């Protein structure tokens, strides 16, 4: 006899579990996973109703109140209306999303961005200095490096620029347009900061972030990346396809 629960039962119980969890804690972290070789985890921010996909290794510089601070680099974020909606988004991200030039996007957006390359090609100086894939990601010294090579350098503690040896050049996500998810979406910046300010024992924010787990995730080969802006940026197909969840 199978003791497995029907999937809907599991989802209902997970919704209830997260609802109970939020009575005590401000964020809920899902376990880490990998898409196109990039290690990430999903965080739900209860107060802000934001789902954020954070890079495990890569951080970025953001300006808050005139100060430059470091935050986990957001690969993608989306607002949610209910926990059930958030879980649908989680499932969709895990099954349908790809990395394109350092950001997560839906398969449909990914295909369109690849097609756009025929009319908006990358230039010769937009190739990763390590693996030569097309990328607009750079070091602060303006040397191109793709997100996966950046992550791998960080994991191997090779933090200097692979081209000019500028100190700690690979640490923080940078790109030619300077459009980074955390930077363009202020509520996300604030949500991440509010989480940082919580006492350590008050939430599960560190769950799954320890080195044993992240280092056991192996890097895969393949693929190019490129830059897209969610929320507040140019219109994206993601925004359309995700409408179905608002119903
Ligand atoms: Zn690379
Ligand atoms: Zn350099």
| Ligand of minimum distance to the alpha carbon of 138 | 2
Please tell me the predicted confidence (pLDDT) of residue 1. Answer: 52
Ligand 1 mean position, distance from CA 137 (Å): 10
- Is residue 27 within 8 Å of 203, Cβ to Cβ? yes
Strands 50-64 and 172-173: parallel
- Give the pLDDT score at 65: 87
Q: Between these two residues, 69 and 216, which has the higher pLDDT value? A: 69
Burial of 91 (0-12, 13-18, 19+ CB in 10 A): exposed
| pLDDT at position 93 | 98
Distance 96 CA to ligand 1 centre (A): 23
- The percent of residues in the chain predicted with pLDDT above 90, rounded, is 71
For 35-60, what is the mean pLDDT? 97
Q: Which residue has the higher pLDDT, 183 or 232?
A: 183
Predicted local confidence at residue 2, as pLDDT = 54
Quick check: 156 pLDDT over 90?
A: yes
Confidence of residue 46 (pLDDT cuts 50, 70, 90): very high
- The answer to whether 226 and 101 are in contact (CB under 8 A) is yes
pLDDT at 226: 33
Average pLDDT over residues 189-194: 92
How much distance in Å is there from the Cα of 103 to the middle of ligand 1? 14
Average pLDDT for 32-43: 98
User: What does the pLDDT average to over 3-20?
Assistant: 88
> Which residues neighbour ligand 2 (ion) by CB within 5 Å?
139, 141, 143, 161, 163-164, 166
- Is residue 247 predicted with pLDDT exceeding 60? no
For the chain, the structural domain boundaries read: 7-246
From the CA of 130, the nearest ligand is: 1
Nearest by Cα to 234 from 133, 65, 116, 123: 116
Residue 195: predicted pLDDT: 84
Mean pLDDT of 14-40: 97
Find the 166 Cα to ligand 2 centroid distance in Å.
Answer: 5
Mean pLDDT, the chain, rounded, equals 83
Cα separation, 8 vs 5, whole angstroms: 8
Integer CA distances (angstroms), 164 to 96, 138, 168, 176, in order: 37, 12, 11, 18
Whether the per-residue pLDDT at 221 is higher than 50: the answer is no
Ligand 1 centre to CA of 54 (Å) is 19
Q: What is the 156 CA–ligand 2 centroid distance (Å)?
A: 18
Residue-wise pLDDT tens digits, 103-153: 999 999 999 999 999 999 999 999 999 999 999 999 999 999 999 999 999
Give the chain's radius of gyration (CA, Å): 18
């Amino acid at each position: 006899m199978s003791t497995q629960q029907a999937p809907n039962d599991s989802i209902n119980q997970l919704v209830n579990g997260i609802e109970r969890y939020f009575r005590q804690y401000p964020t809920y972290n899902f376990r880490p996973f990998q898409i196109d070789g990039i290690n990430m985890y999903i965080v739900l921010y209860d107060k802000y109703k934001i789902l954020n996909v954070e890079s495990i290794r890569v951080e970025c510089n953001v300006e808050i109140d005139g100060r430059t601070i470091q935050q986990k680099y957001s690969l993608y974020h989306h607002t949610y209306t209910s926990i059930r909606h958030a879980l649908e988004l989680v499932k969709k991200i895990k099954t349908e999303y790809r990395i394109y030039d350092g950001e997560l996007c839906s398969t449909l957006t990914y295909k369109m961005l690849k097609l756009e390359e025929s009319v908006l090609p990358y230039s010769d100086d937009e190739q990763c200095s390590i693996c030569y894939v097309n990328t607009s990601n750079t070091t602060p010294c303006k040397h191109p490096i793709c997100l996966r090579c950046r992550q791998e350098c960080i994991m191997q503690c090779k933090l200097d620029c692979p081209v000019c040896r500028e100190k700690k050049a690979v640490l923080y996500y940078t790109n030619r347009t300077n459009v980074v998810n955390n930077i363009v979406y202020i509520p996300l910046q604030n949500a991440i900061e509010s989480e940082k300010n919580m006492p350590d024992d008050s939430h599960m924010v560190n769950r799954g972030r320890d080195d044993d787990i992240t280092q056991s995730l192996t890097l895969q080969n393949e693929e190019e990346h490129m830059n897209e802006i969610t929320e507040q940026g140019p219109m994206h197909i993601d925004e359309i396809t995700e409408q179905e969840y608002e119903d």
